[in-house]
Amino acid sequence: MSEWFTLFSNSLPEFWKGTLITLLLTSTGLGIGFLLGIPAAVIRIYGSKYLRWLAIGYIELFRGTPALVQLFVIYYGLPDMGITLDRIPAAIIALGLNSGAYQAEYFRSAIQAIGHDQMMAARAIGMSRIKAIWNIILPQAMRLVIPAWSNEPVSLLKTTAIAFLIAVPDLMTKAKMVATRTYDPIGAYLAVAVIYLILVVILTAILEYISRKSRIPGFDLEIEAQRST
């Protein structure tokens, strides 16, 4: 046990660097996913026929294929089409596109739970559809979605480990390096497992805090979590 602590503390600077990369991948992937997910959900519900198909196509493509395949297509496949990306941007784009598809579905169920009536009430005071979506539907959907959506940052954080396979120097890659150097794979992987777990616990606490802060009296329907990871 004390040997493990030695390994852990000796490798701490490396793990720290890896953690920063992992957090970078998670936050940017989540951000891109958020910016893609909201319009994708809105278009899937309110869009015209062709736009709707576009949104459905995107969502189902990225939910229906492994994240690793998506990453490899973007990193190894796109150069054939003349688009060459560095490792980290490639990982961020892949994770963002993937997360966007899942987030779109969370937002969609929240928007649908709010229902047609709120839209009707908004239209009845003279709001256009766009204004109603922006001022009435989305603010409610954002709050409603929090419990279900809270799975996404945690899930994405863990998914970032696939970036190891294109040699992004994230936490997982660092674990591999430490394992090779110390000839102690169990110790090294156990160490990153602990770090991932700590990150997840912190993230969950933050999400819990946000959820509490955004609560509105008498308005806390919950939406079933859909993604099981």
Partner 1 sequence: MDKYILEIQNISKRYGGNVILKDISLNVREGDTVVIIGPSGTGKSTLLRCINLLTRIDTGKILLDGKDITTKNVSEDEVRQHVGMVFQNFLLFNHLTALDNVMIGLTKVRKMPANQAKEKAMQELRRVGLADRASHYPGQLSGGQQQRVAIARALAMDPRVMLFDEPTSALDPELIGEVLEVMRKLAEEGMTMLCVTHEMGFAREVADRIIFMEHGVIVEEGPPAELFYRPKFERTREFLWKITELYGKHKDEEKPGDTST
Q: Which residues bind partner 1 (CB under 8 A)?
A: 117-118, 120-128, 131, 135-136, 139-140, 143, 216-219
User: Which of 44/143 has CB closer to partner 1?
Assistant: 143
Partnered with residue 216 across adjacent β-strands are 219
Q: Which residue has the tokens 């998506």?
A: 70
Annotate 182-206 with DSSP letters as a single string: HT-HHHHHHHHHHHHHHHHHHHHHH
Query: CB of residue 80 vs partner 1: minimum separation in angstroms?
Result: 48
Please state the closest distance from residue 123 (CB atom) to partner 1, in A: 7
Q: How far is CA 153 from CA 25, 49, 52, 125, 128, in A?
A: 11, 31, 26, 37, 33
Distance CA 191, CA 178 (A): 10
CB of 121 to partner 1, least distance (A): 4
| 82 vs 218, beta carbon nearer partner 1 | 218
Residue closer to partner 1 by CB (options 125, 186) is 125
Q: Which is nearer to partner 1, 93 or 122 (CB)?
A: 122
Nearer to partner 1, 68 or 127 (CB): 127
Q: How many other CB atoms are found less than 10 A from the CB of residue 72? A: 16
27: left (phi over 0), alpha (psi -120 to 50) or beta: alpha
Least distance from C-beta 146 to partner 1, angstroms? 13
Smallest gap from residue 33 Cβ to partner 1 (A)? 23
78 CB contacts (<8 Å, ≥6 apart)?
A: 84, 85, 90
Q: Taking a C-beta distance cutoff of 8 angstroms, is the pair 41, 112 a contact? A: no
